[in-house]
Homo-oligomer: A and B are copies of this chain.
């Protein structure tokens, strides 16, 4: 994609430091692990503070040494097709876990989508701990099962819904997350650019924009700024998913 002749000289701005009990909320690791085992992991976790969006965390095909958990911000998990297109498989939000290796390699790529704070755990160490603690294994199993169900929901969305429905589905899902939605103001922060969103929904950025326009014209949402959307009628968004994919031909 890039010409290769002019590199941005700015480095990816990341700061790494060990886990700090005073600065880092223990609740962030809670989703991943049951109480009581957290201390062991904190000791081996490093905190990475990515200062900007579009930092690469890892790329598909690389040796997988670390597993990550999101503390703040958002990370996109993506895969590239042989035709050079990109599909965003999932958006990792605070509390989510990613980077599990397959045969020692990462099968997907991960990049920040906004400034983000991550916990990084060496896979080797985690693996050792897993063997000693069957309960941890169960947690991991549940986590995988959750990811699988999530992936299945996306299959349904991509297979059966039109673009406006897919966008509605995304907005609804994101609005479940308190970090991105305020119940008071009804304002939702969309941490993706239009073209990231397009790759997430399996379409083109222009089509995403037209879907936004359509929802706005029908009074379901209102675009406040690039990244802020006011949800005006959540129920109507939900009802949209009940509709057919296509209006059908007018009968004569």
Interface residues of A (CB under 8 A from B): 79, 81-83, 85, 87, 89, 100, 102, 107-108, 131, 134, 137-138, 140-141, 144-145, 147-149, 151-152, 154-156, 158-161, 199, 201-202, 241-245
Contact = CB atoms under 8 A, between A and B. Distances in A.
Contacts of A242: 82-83
A51 to B, nearest CB: 29
A137 B141 contact: yes
A82 B241 contact: yes
A199 B83 CA distance: 24
Contact of A152 (B108, B201, B241): B108
20 contacts: A79-B152, A79-B156, A81-B156, A81-B161, A81-B241, A82-B242, A85-B244, A87-B155, A87-B156, A89-B152, A107-B152, A131-B134, A134-B137, A141-B141, A144-B148, A147-B148, A148-B148, A158-B159, A158-B202, A160-B202
